[in-house]
Structure 1
Amino acid sequence: MPSAAERTRTLVQSTCSAVLLVPGPDAAHPGQLMPESRAVGPEGDLLLCFATGSPVVRAAARAGDGELPAVLELTDVAPVSVPHRIRGRARIAGWLTALPGLAAPGRTMLRLEVSGASVDDLWGAREVEPEDLRDAGADPLAAHEAELLQHLHTAHAEQMASLSALLGERSAGRGPLPRAVPLALDRFGLRVRFVEEAGTCFDARFDFPGPVRDAAGLQRALYTLFEAAAC
């Protein structure tokens, strides 16, 4: 399974929504607290780009170097329609500093020196140490996960439904086959949410034979999975 640090870093480098919370900013529209881009620096600091006139940038400018506490909150929502679409949340706390001259005109780069992080997602809730976040890598499928899940959902509904054959006793005597919705994908496997007629649902995780590194490896892993379900 992916580590808590890897899951957190994957969220940072994904397209999930994020807001940066700082104490006492001027009355801010929620959109003004959302970084236009975010990345992880070589030392594990987060690099967040904002419009220069945003309340967050003004707050950082008023504070001394590295004296402004801040928390980046990330919310991960499933890219397909499914009950309970929020897949996870992460919080990364630290100290904020402005980095003049590193962004395009009209924009300011802010550095969040990480002091601690936590993630609460489909795998559970865990604390993450700053050095673990620094050393972790984002999942190699993260950049394309949304489109891959949407493709599985729309173009491979029959194969997705066949995965119920791998549930064993869990599906025995449950009545009509539940609807199978691809919920999450990483290099280790596929998580599916099975939605029953009564509206109840449950998740099942299908591990790949080995970690997937690219599109070709994913295609082979999914083929193996669907072949097992068809037997």
Structure 2
Amino acid sequence: MPSAAERTRTLVQSTCSAVLLVPGLDGARPDQLVPLARSVGTDGELFLVFPADAPPVRAATHAQDDELAAVLEITDVAPVSVPHRIRGRAWVSGWLTHAPGLAERGLMTLRLEVGEVSVDDLWGASRVEPAEFAQASPDPLVGYEVELLQHLHAAHSEQVQELRSLLGERARPADGEDGGDGGDGTPGAAVPVALDRFGLRVRFTGAQCFDARFDFPEPVADVVGLRRAMHTLFEAAAQ
């Protein structure tokens, strides 16, 4: 499984929504606290780009040499329609300062020196040491996950449904429960809900709603390796 540090780096460097929470900015509109871009520096610090007149920029200017505490809160929502769509959240807290000269005219880059990191996602809740966060790498599929999950859901829903056959007893209803979404034996939906280099997570809905994890034979490094891994999974389910 991906480590907590890797999962957090993946969320930070993904397209998930994020908001920068700064004490004293309670009156700011939510959209004014959303960075236009974010990246991670070589030492694990976060660089957040805002309009030059955004409330966080003004707060950092006013603080000057004082330490300005801030928290970047990231919310990860599944890119496909599925019950319980929030897949996880991450929080990176630390101290905010200006990073002049890094943004184009009309924008300002703020530097968040990392003090604490935590994540609460489909794998569970964990704290991450700043050094571990700095050394971790994002999942290699992070830039493709949204498109890949949507493609699997739209074009390969039957094959994703067939993965249920690999679950054995787990996919069978417990005593007193029906086996589908209406008691007629028809299985509920099977929705691909998360994807990383180690495997695919599918959410099975109906009378029972549960996630199942399908590990790849070996971690994949790119989309080419992913295609081979998915082909192997689908072949196993079809047998």
TM-score, normalised via structure 2 length:
0.94
The 2-side partners of 1:160 and 1:136 are apart by 31
Q: Deviations over 1:69-104 (max 9, x none)?
A: 000000000000000000000000000001122101
Cα RMSD for the two superposed structures: 1.0
Aligned mates of 1:102, 1:81 — CA distance in 2: 38
Partner of 1:206: 214
Aligned length in residues: 229
What CA deviation, in whole Å up to 9, does each residue of 1:191-223 have, x standing for no partner?
000011x4x410000000000001110000000
Letter of the 2:12 partner, please give it: V
- The one-letter amino acid paired with 2:49 is C
User: Is the aligned partner of 1:187 residue 2:197?
Assistant: yes
Q: Distance in 1 between matches of 2:99 and 2:124?
A: 35
Structure 2 SS opposite 1:73: strand
In the alignment, the residues of structure 1 paired with residue 137 and residue 171 of structure 2 have an alpha-carbon distance, to the nearest angstrom, of: 36
Paired with 2:123 and 2:66, the residues of 1 have a C-alpha distance of: 33
- The corresponding residue for 1:54 is 54
Asked whether 1:219 is paired with 2:223, we answer no
Q: Match for residue 182 of structure 2?
A: none
- 2:98 aligns to what? 98
- Asked if structure 2 preserves the Cα contact closer than 8 Å seen for 1:66 and 1:95, the reply is no
1:138 aligned counterpart, secondary structure: coil
2 CA distance for matches of 1:38 and 1:129? 20
Aligned equivalents of 1:167 and 1:39: distance in 2?
Answer: 39
Question: Which amino acid is the alignment partner of residue 107 of structure 1?
Answer: L
Partner of 1:76: 76
Amino acid at match of 1:21: L
Q: Is the 8 A contact 1:26 1:55 kept in 2?
A: no
- Any idea what SS the aligned residue of 1:142 has? coil
Deviations 1:136-162 (A, max 9, x none): 000000101000000000000110110
Gaps of 5+ in 1: none
After TM superposition, the runs of 4+ consecutive aligned structure 1 residues lying more than 6 A away are none
Contiguous gaps of at least 5 residues in structure 2: 174-178, 180-184
**CA gap 1:55/1:218 in 2 versus in 1, 3 angstroms:** same
